[in-house]
Each structure stands twice: as C-alpha cells, then as structure tokens.
C-alpha cells in the first residue's frame, strides 16, 4: 500500500488530460463517406426486401410475374449503382442513391432512371411509403427537388402488396415489358416525372 | 445483473438533446442518423484507435460501426445511452478484426521473422530511432498503456477516463460483468502506476494504488 501526493484521482486526472493529447482527428469528409456507406447499406436492404416481396408475391399470378421481373431490374440497378458510386467516389461527385426513410418491411420500391445535367444516366432506387401511383409521382418530384438530377423516369415500381400492384397495372400505368434495358425508352411505369425525358 | 433502477439511471445520463435525434434515427431518418455520425465518429474512432493501434484499421472499423448501427437500429434499447450501444458494436467489430488479423499474422509470421532477423543483423537494431521513440512514448500514459496493457484493459481504461463511461456502461460495452471491469481497471492502473514510478521520478511520482481500491 502506498500513499503520497498522487492519489487514485490524480492518476485518473492524468489519464483524462493526456487522452486529449493522443486524440486524433478524422479526415474532414469522413462523415460524408460514412453516410454514403450507410446509404449503400440502405440500398442493399431495399433490394433484399424486393427479393422477399417477390417470393411472397409469386402466389398472386400476374402480380407474382411482375414482381419476379422487378427483382431482375433491382439486381441490375444495384450493379449499376455500385459501379457508379465507385466512380463517383473517385471523382468526388455527389450521391446517386436517394432513399426516403421508412420501415423497410412495409416499403415500396421504385427503380428509376435519372438523367444528370451531363446526360449521364444513373439509377435511383427510391423507397416510398405509398403503393399507389400519384404519391409515387409526388415523392419522385420531391426527390428531384432535393437531388441534382434534372430528369427522372420511373421504369418500374414494386408495391409492397400484390393487390396494390394489380391495381397499378389496371390503372394503365404500363407494365414492365418493353423495357429497353434498365431505364430504356418505352419502359413501364410513370414517365416522365420532372423535367427532361 | 442490472436492475431497472440502474437502467433508468443510465438512460438519465444521455444528453437531453440526444434523445430526440436518436428517436428520429430509430424511426428511419437518415438526416438524424447523420447527426449522430457527426457527434460520435470522433469518439468511436479514438476508442478503436486506442484499442487497435492502427489508424487505418480504426477508420475502417469506425465506418463499419455506423453502418452496422444503421442496419441494426431496430435492436437499439433506449434504456441505455446510444453511445454505449455504439461502442458495444465497435467492440465486437474490433474483436472480430483482431481475430482475423491474428489468423493472417500466423500465416505470414515465418516470412516476417526472416526479414526482420536480417535487418537486425545488418543494423544492430530493427529501427535506429527506436530508443528515442520509446522515450517519447513514455511521456504519455496512453502510449505506455498501448505497450503494457491488453486490448480489453486499454479499452476499459479509455472508456473510463477519456469517454467518462461508468463501470456499468463499460461492462455493457465490453460484454463483461461490472466486477470484472473494476478488476480490469484496478490492474491497469496498477501497471501504469508502476510504469510512472520507473520513469525516474522517484518516490514523488509514485502513484497511490491501494490494494483492492477498485475491487468491491
């Protein structure tokens, strides 16, 4: 046992003070890169939800077929997304993915093609809260106001409920047939939204 | 085991302006989560840096900590401070990382040993600046801790004195009992006190670490 001018609190004080000396700072853009990684995780989760929705929708005839096709779109979109994000990270450009926060289990997914001012097409995967067309348009327009792209065409939509998807088709909004690749002209869905295209 | 009363006490430690932000993030707001990233990224990074000793690894795991936090947000229990939960994620990632690193190290150890042996034979020491660096390092207790303490002890010490965590919060973060944490802290302080005494400051610099001071 020892006792002198350094008590247990003194050692604690030294550790506390010296912790400020050894603290290191992160790069200025660290928070931005972290949030980009978080959004990528969000996009992946959205894609996984689309796959799960497809599996559950296969029991619903036409809706099931449509949902299965959308999974292909979602997979392609994710690939394009990853590649473009990788390129954009290198150039320091802005984000591609814009996702509205919602409960993933109840989410609808819209796969949209956007055209940037330099005419470079990009894919947006947008998670929406509603299953009907008008709110989708509304959400897409709201997205355009916050995004940097000037044109956005929804090429496909994946409602959470198969019934809503059937209603979507019956409303004459188009199907998924005729999509010329991802975001090709003549694709399905609501188009155009916003300016461009 | 923590009582409901103790849990409530921990929740009460959360800054009042933090709770609404955490609640918004919990509801799915990326903007709110971004604020949490900005608020806690420095602390998580320094904790991981102190634990791992590598800036690059600490940066990678800090980012991964927040990605995991976002994807697991539904599992957050708001009876505890958000930072406690966040540091627990960081701790688990650090443990996984260390395990992987040990496996990689074991695979490459033989090759490294040959190369370093040749360097020592040629220069007499692995790094000519090593003695100078060692003296410099011993001026700061945290750098001494880096050399003397294990990962978990360093982590406990950092959470206690740099982040101001309570013993219960450290226990929850590290997945240990509160008693184990107190023993860990006691041992860490005793080792550091011994190191200070060896710095040549004689009796005046002797740190008082009473036997069993931290052990209930």
| pLDDT tens by residue, B137-161 | 556 788 888 888 998 999 999 999 9
Task: For residues A55-69, give the mean pLDDT.
Answer: 42
Distance CA B163, CA B212 (A): 24
CB A113 within 8 A of CB A155: yes
Nearest to A35 among B34, B189, B209 (CB): B34
Distance CA B69, CA B8 (A): 22
Structure tokens that stand for A154 in this block: 């929804």
- Indicate whether A99 pLDDT > 90: no
SS (H, E, C) A68-116: HHHHHHHHHHHHHHHHHHHHHHHHCCCCCCCCCCCCHHHCEEEEEEEEC
Pick the closest to residue B19 from B70, B71, B82, B74 (CA basis): B82
Mean pLDDT estimate for chain B: 76
Instruction: Identify the contact set of chain B against chain A, taking CB-CB distances under 8 A.
Output: 27-30, 33-34, 37-38, 41-42, 45-46, 49-50, 55, 59, 62-63, 66-67, 70-71, 140-143, 157-158, 160-162, 189, 192-193, 196, 203-211, 213
Residue with tokens 């490459």: B108
B116 confidence band (pLDDT: 50, 70, 90): very low
**pLDDT of res. B24:** 92
State pTM to two decimals: 0.54
On the question of a cis peptide bond just before residue A192, with omega within 30 degrees of 0, the verdict is yes
**pLDDT of res. B40:** 95
Nearest to A18 among B29, B42, B140 (CB): B140
Each residue of A154-176: pLDDT tens digit? Answer: 444 444 444 343 344 344 333 33
Structure tokens that stand for B175 in this block: 């997945």
Pick the closest to residue A130 from A55, A65, A190 (CA basis): A190
Task: Tell me if chain B has a CB within 8 Å of the CB of A99.
Answer: yes
């Amino acid at each position: 046992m020892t006792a002198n001018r350094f008590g247990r609190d003194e050692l604690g004080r030294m550790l506390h003070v010296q912790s400020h000396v050894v603290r290191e700072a992160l790069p200025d853009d660290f928070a931005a890169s972290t949030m980009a990684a978080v959004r990528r995780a969000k996009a992946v989760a959205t894609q996984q939800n689309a796959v799960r929705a497809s599996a559950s929708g296969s029991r619903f005839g036409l809706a099931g077929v449509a949902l299965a096709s959308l999974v292909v779109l979602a997979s392609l979109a994710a690939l394009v997304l990853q590649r473009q994000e990788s390129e954009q990270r290198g150039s320091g450009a802005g984000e591609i993915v814009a996702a509205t926060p919602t409960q993933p289990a109840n989410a609808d997914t819209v796969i949209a093609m956007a055209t940037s001012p330099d005419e470079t097409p990009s894919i947006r995967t947008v998670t929406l809260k509603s299953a009907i067309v008008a709110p989708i348009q509304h959400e897409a327009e709201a997205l355009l106001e916050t995004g940097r792209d000037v044109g956005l065409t929804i090429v496909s939509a994946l409602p959470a409920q198969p019934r809503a998807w059937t209603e979507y088709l019956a409303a004459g909004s188009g199907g998924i047939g005729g999509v010329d690749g991802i975001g090709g002209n003549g694709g399905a869905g609501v188009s155009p939204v916003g300016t461009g295209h | 085991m923590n009582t409901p009363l103790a849990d409530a006490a921990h929740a009460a430690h959360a800054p009042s302006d933090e709770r609404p932000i955490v609640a918004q993030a919990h509801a799915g707001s990326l903007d709110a989560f971004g604020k949490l990233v900005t608020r806690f990224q420095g602390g998580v990074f320094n904790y991981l840096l102190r634990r791992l000793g590598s800036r690059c690894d600490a940066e990678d795991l800090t980012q991964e900590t927040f990605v995991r936090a976002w994807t697991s947000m539904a599992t957050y229990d708001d009876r505890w401070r958000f930072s406690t939960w966040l540091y627990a994620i960081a701790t688990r990632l650090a443990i996984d990382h260390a395990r992987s690193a040990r496996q990689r190290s074991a695979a490459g150890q033989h090759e490294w040993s040959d190369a370093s042996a040749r360097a020592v034979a040629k220069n007499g020491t692995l790094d000519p600046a090593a003695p100078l660096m060692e003296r410099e390092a011993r001026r700061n207790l945290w750098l001494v801790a880096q050399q003397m303490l294990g990962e978990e002890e360093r982590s406990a010490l950092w959470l206690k004195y740099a982040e101001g965590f309570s013993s219960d919060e450290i226990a929850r973060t590290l997945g240990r009992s509160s008693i184990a944490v107190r023993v860990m802290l006691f041992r860490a302080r005793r080792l550091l006190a011994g190191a200070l005494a060896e710095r040549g400051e004689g009796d005046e610099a002797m740190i008082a670490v009473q036997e069993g001071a931290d052990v209930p």
